[in-house]
Copies of this chain bind each other. A is one copy, B any other.
Amino acid sequence: MSVEDRLGQLNIVLPAPPRPVANYVPACQVGDLLFISGVLPFDNGQLRMKGKLGRELTIQEGYESARLALLNALAIVKQHTGALDRVKRIVRLTGYVASASDFVEQPAVVNGASDLLVELFGDSGRHARLALGAAELPMHAPVELELIVQLHEMN
């Protein structure tokens, strides 16, 4: 089954890809590597949740935020490539989690993105990963993701 079909099966509609509001671009391709700009959990142009893990937000809310941020990253990939089936491999995901003092469950939060990657891409979605705490993130976002993907070569 194609990734686009799996999205439909899961009733997932990709959000509109975030538009950079400064001098950068959503994604930059070098050879078959696509570097995605940092993504936040936007939904219809708004952050769905704000705040820090270990203070305003629960791990489950963080998990959902990571999943939503990942959908923003995939919307960028689709915008860049035309179709998610152009993805050959998810290479690396870094999850920065806005963390109140002593919150150290960053991996459980970033799983929201990792789980969706494997749901959608199967083994090709298994990626190298980092999960880290951040002191502060733009706009009080709970999560920011960095993603590198490998694309199939164009014929």
Instruction: State the A residues within 8 Å of B (CB).
Output: 20-28, 30-33, 35-38, 89-94, 96, 99, 101-107, 111, 114-115, 117-118, 125-140, 144, 146, 148, 150
Contact = CB atoms under 8 A, between A and B. Distances in A.
Given A35-B148, A91-B35, A132-B38, A24 B127 contact: yes
A150 B37 contact: no
Contact of A138 (B22, B92, B106, B114): B106
A104 to B, nearest CB: 5
A32 B86 CA distance: 21
21 contacts: A22-B111, A22-B115, A22-B129, A23-B118, A28-B89, A28-B91, A28-B128, A30-B32, A30-B89, A35-B128, A37-B128, A38-B129, A94-B146, A101-B135, A101-B136, A103-B136, A106-B138, A130-B144, A132-B137, A133-B137, A135-B135
Nearest to A21: B107
A147 to B, nearest CB: 10
A110 to B, nearest CB: 8
A85 B115 CA distance: 34
Nearest to A144: B132
Contacts of A90: 28
B24 A93 contact: yes
A129 B30 contact: no
B134 A104 contact: no
B137 A134 contact: no
A89 to B, nearest CB: 7
